[in-house]
Structure 1
Amino acid sequence: MSTAPATALAWAAADPYAAALRAGRGPLFLRRCDGWLLPLEVERWCARADAVDRDVLDRCEGAVLDVGCGPGRLVAELAARGRVVLGIDVSEAAVDQTVRLGGQALRRSVFEPLPGEGRWDTVLLMDGNIGIGGDPRALLDRVAELLRPGGLLIAETAPVDIDERAQVRVVDLTDPHGADDPFPWARLGTPALLRYARDWTRAGQWTAGGRCFTALRSRSRRIPSSSAEPPKRTAVISSQRARNTSAGRPVADR
């Protein structure tokens, strides 16, 4: 299985990120080595799901895996609708906040073993998370392993035509010590995403509220690896455990 340890470890140890999530506000940025800054929308992430988010969630099918769930607004919204949903994030602060909102979440990288591999109906890569690991093609391959054949990926892309890979840091400009180790990240516009999605079928493309989204369907049947077993209890947050329903759908239940 592919791994992205640099990204996972950097986000997991990102004190400025954790502090911002706990406070519910920024300012917080991703900074490239050349000094260029990308603002992170902490306030929006920590708020309730907005109209644009809810439209995305209306398009989700079946059991949903939210990759890089952050403080859990999407997981909480789907849970409130009675949907089967699990969030994953490498940040302990993000997972804790998701659980406090009533969602279910694991502190886990998308490149680590996950419950329900090969059986998720929808995977979400929102808020720029198509950049996780700095290798979009590897991330798409991993998501295809997580989805059932014909499953749906909904990805939020950059609102410009860009295909960039860079080493970045999470920084808080108000704190002279508020920076962490660099890690690989990518920024993709929709055209770039579609170029990487060679083994996918385009299922939709739309813009709302200045944000851009692409829906893709997995085409090839992929055999789940043996790592698809549910995680052990020690890896599950708040004594939640992963299990499968009799219909074979992945859920995380108490």
Structure 2
Amino acid sequence: MTAPTDTTRQQTPTPRRPPHQPTASDQPSDPATGAPESAAACGIRPCWSADPYTDALRSGHGPLFLRRSDGWLLPLDVERWCASADAADMSVLRLCEGSVLDVGCGPGRLVAALSELGSRALGIDVSQEAVTRTVGLGATALCRSVFEALPGEGRWGSVLLLDGNIGIGGRPGALLERCGELLAPEGLLLAEAAPVDVDERVEVRIDDGRGAGEPVGQSFPWARVGAPALLRYAAHAGWSRAAQWESGERSFLALRRS
């Protein structure tokens, strides 16, 4: 596969400035104390709190995979997630408008990079270790699913779905609709597609690939979609393409509500 360049099919979205700026008061509160909810107090989802995933984030490296029931392994790029934002990441982050919600923020490199760019950003992740690492970088994060109640709903300037997170929940259409609820009316959704033409929804488990036994934790639904499939789901959910480009062998789309 020939490595694509940053300029392939690139169109620059017209900047807009949605009104919401997240503050500490946006954070969900402990009902007993009224204090902002800490990562440690959050409920942990069993799939992404499985030991191999937590261990990989703590160590900063894999191997780590999603294993399908037929044994096929999807590598997870833990080393890149735990590093600083790279050139491909920055090609996305520089397009962000207003306050930014990073869905499935992982160990926090994107939220931290946005903070360095002067943007207000919040990461959400269902892994406590991911949230802990993000906060350790000086960024802001909550232990929350995208399908749970979130601060600033309907007021975010940009929402990020990178690093395969279009697969969250195994239903790309439902996830795109949810992102529409989170964004301001003219907000920007920045999504990463699989680098190949694929459209699959499967049940997977976390696996460290070491062959020491059965995959760990509960199975959970996941999806992989390439750019053509993502555009189909987006159109059905009321999104239109504002830009499409490739960088570092990764494929990205910017979407706005039609």
The aligned residue for residue 242 of structure 2 is 203
User: Which residue of structure 2 aligns with residue 116 of structure 1?
Assistant: 152
Q: In the alignment, is the contact (CA less than 8 A) between 1:121 and 1:147 conserved in 2?
A: yes
**C-alpha distance after superposition, 1:38-86 (max 9, x if no partner):** 0000000000001111111001111000000000000001112221100
1:161, CA displacement in angstroms?
0.6
Q: Which amino acid aligns with 1:35?
A: G
Give 1:189's aligned residue. Answer: 226
Matched-pair contact (CA < 8 Å) for 1:166–1:184: yes
Aligned-residue Cα RMSD (Å) equals: 1.2
Find 1:14's aligned residue among 47, 50, 59: 50
Take 2:210 and 2:197, find their aligned partners in 1: how far apart are those partners?
31
How many corresponding residue pairs? 212
Matched, 1:212 2:248: no
Alignment of 1:52-131 (within 5 A): 52-131=88-167
Distance 1:81 1:160 in 2: 31
Q: Does 1:150 align with 2:186?
A: yes
Question: Shift of residue 12 of structure 1?
Answer: 3.8
Offset at residue 160 of structure 1 (A) = 0.6
Tell me which residue corresponds to 1:136. 172
Letter matched to residue 174 of structure 2 = A
The residue type equivalent to 2:194 in the other structure is A
Q: Which residue of 2 aligns with 1:26?
A: 62
Deviation at 1:184, TM superposition (A): 0.1
Q: Structure 2 CA distance, aligned partners of 1:14 and 1:217?
A: 35
Shift of 1:176: 1.8
SS at match of 1:133: helix
Aligned to 2:36: none
**What code does the residue aligned with 2:212 have?**
P
Partner letter of residue 69 of structure 2?
Answer: C
Higher relative contact order, chain-length normalized (CA < 8 Å, sep 6+):
2
Return the letter of the residue paired with 1:16.
P
How many Å apart are 1:175 and its aligned residue?
Answer: 6.1
User: Which amino acid letter does the alignment assign opposite residue 181 of structure 1?
Assistant: Q
TM-score, normalising length: structure 1: 0.81
Return the alpha-carbon distance in structure 1 between the equivalents of residues 198 and 216 of structure 2. 25
Residues 89 and 106, structure 1, Cα contact 8 Å, conserved in 2? yes
SS of corresponding position for 1:181? strand
User: Structure 1: any 5+ residue segments left out of the alignment?
Assistant: 1-7, 220-254
> Aligned equivalents of 2:143 and 2:131: distance in 1?
6
Report if the CA contact (8 A) 1:10-1:182 is conserved: no
Structure 1 counterpart of 2:230, one-letter code: L
**Is the CA contact 2:105–2:130 (under 8 Å) kept in the aligned structure 1?**
yes
Give the structure 2 partner of residue 241 of structure 1: none
